Amino acid sequence: MLEEPILQVRNLRKQFGTGCMECAEVETRKLEKNFCKNCGTVYACQDISFDLYPGEILGIVGESGSGKSTMMQCLYFDNEVSSGEAFINTPELVSNNVFELSAQKKRSIRNHVYGMVYQNPVHGLKMNFSSVGNIAEKLIAAGNRNVGQMEATSKKLLENVHIPLHRMKEEPRNFSGGMQQRVQIAKALSNNPPILFLDEVTTGLDLSVQANVLDLIKVIQRDLGISMIVVSHDLAVIRMLADRTIVLLNGKIIEEGLTDQVLEDPQHEYTQQLVYSLL
C-alpha cells in the first residue's frame, strides 16, 4: 500500500546518567534490567523504532519501568532524547529530525501537531484555572486571539467529552479523576492535532468511567481520524483500542504485531508471561 506513516521514530535512546566504561558500549553492556550497577545510569529507552500511520491507534504495553512514559515524554519534547530521530510527515516538517529542531520549532509542533494526555492530570491541567480557561490557554498557544470564539470552541470541546455546561467554569481540581481526564482530552484536542499521545489515560478510573473514556477515544479516532499512541499496562484497554501493539521491556521493543495477534499468539517469552498471567 502506498501509505506513508505520519510519524517515524528511529533509534530513540534516552539514558539518565552519563554511563561508564562498563556500560558505554551497547553490544557489551550488562545491565540489571535497564540499570548499570556500576555507575547507576538508567537506560530508559534503548533503540526504539516504529512507524505510526494516519488514523491508527498504536498500543504500547510493558511493565512498570519499561520506558513507556519516558518514550512519550521524549516524543513530546518534555524530555530531551540522548539520541535518535523522529520524522513528522507534514509538508512543513517532512525530512527534518524533529529532535534536532530549535526550542521554538518544537514548541510550535506541540502547539499545532501534537496533543498529550498525561497519566497524571496534574501534569496536563492547570488545576487553578477553569476548564474553559485551560482550553483557552492551549488555543492561545496555537495562535487564537478571538475571545468569544475561543469560549465557544472550549464549550463545544467540553460538551463533546460530556462535561456539563454548568460546570465548565469550574476548576478541574474539584472534578473526579474521570472528569479531569476528559478535560485533559478536550484540551489536547483543542488544536486539532493530527497526532495524540495518551499515557495511561484510564488507569485508576473505575470501570464505568473507564468505559466512557475508552469510548470517547474510539469516537475521536473514527470521527477525526487522529493518529494516536496509547500507553497502558492494561491489556484489556490495549485490546479494546489499539490496531497494532508494541511490547516494551527494559526500554527495548521485544515484540510488535496486530493487537489480537500479540495477545493470542505472543512470540516472545516475556509477552507470553504477560498474556498468560492474565488469562
Partner 1 sequence: MAMLEIVDFGKRFTIHHLGKTMPAIQNINLSLEAGEFIGIVGKSGSGKSTILKSIYRTYLPDEGKIMYDSERFGETDLAQISERQMLYLRKYEIGYVSQFLSVMPRTTCRQLVTNALLEMGESEAVALKEAEKALAHFELDPKLWDSYPNTFSGGEKLRLNIAMATVKKPRLLLLDEPTASLDQQSKIKVREIIEKLKKQGTTLVGIFHDIEFMDGLCDKVYDMQTRQLTITKEVVIHES
Residues that bind partner 1 (CB under 8 A): 1, 3, 53, 56, 207-208, 211-212, 214-215, 218, 222-223, 239-240, 243-244, 257-258, 260-261, 264-265, 267-269, 272-273, 276
Contact call for residue 191 and Mg ion (CB under 5 A): no
Per CB under 5 A, contacts with Zn ion among 2-21 are 20
Q: Cβ neighbours of residue 171 under 8 Å, at least 6 residues apart?
A: 127, 128, 129, 130, 131
Per CB under 6 A, contacts with ligand ATP among 209-268 are 233, 264-265
Query: Residue 65 CB, nearest distance to Mg ion (Å)?
Result: 8
Q: Which stretch binds Zn ion (CB under 5 A): 39-47, 194-202, 224-232, 263-271?
A: 39-47
Whether 161 contacts 132, CB under 8 Å: no
- Which residue's Cβ lies closest to Mg ion? 69
Q: What is the H or E stretch that residue 71 is in?
A: helix 68-75
User: Which of 44, 230 has the CB closer to partner 1?
Assistant: 230
Size of the residue set binding Mg ion (CB under 5 A): 2
Query: Residue 165 CB, nearest distance to ligand ATP (Å)?
Result: 34
User: Which of 30, 166 has the CB closer to Zn ion?
Assistant: 30
DSSP three-state, residue 255: strand
Considering only residues 8, 38, 89, 160, which one is a binding residue for Zn ion as defined by CB under 5 A? 38
Contact call for residue 69 and Mg ion (CB under 5 A): yes
Query: Residue 46 CB, nearest distance to Zn ion (Å)?
Result: 14
56 binds, among partner 1, Mg ion, ligand ATP, none (CB under 5 to 8 A by kind): partner 1
Whether 230 contacts 237, CB under 8 Å: yes
For 146-164, give one letter per residue: b (16+ CB within 10 A) or e: eeeebbebbbebbebbebe
Beta bridge partners of 59: 230, 245
Considering only residues 1, 2, 21, 64, which one is a binding residue for ligand ATP as defined by CB under 6 A? 64
The two beta strands, 57-61 and 244-249, are parallel
DSSP three-state, residue 208: helix
What burial class does residue 60 get, using C-beta atoms within 10 Å of its C-beta: 0-12 exposed, 13-18 middle, 19+ buried? Answer: buried
Whether 200 contacts 119, CB under 8 Å: yes
Binding site for Mg ion (CB under 5 A): 68-69
Binding site for ligand ATP (CB under 6 A): 16, 34, 42, 44, 62, 64-70, 233, 264-265
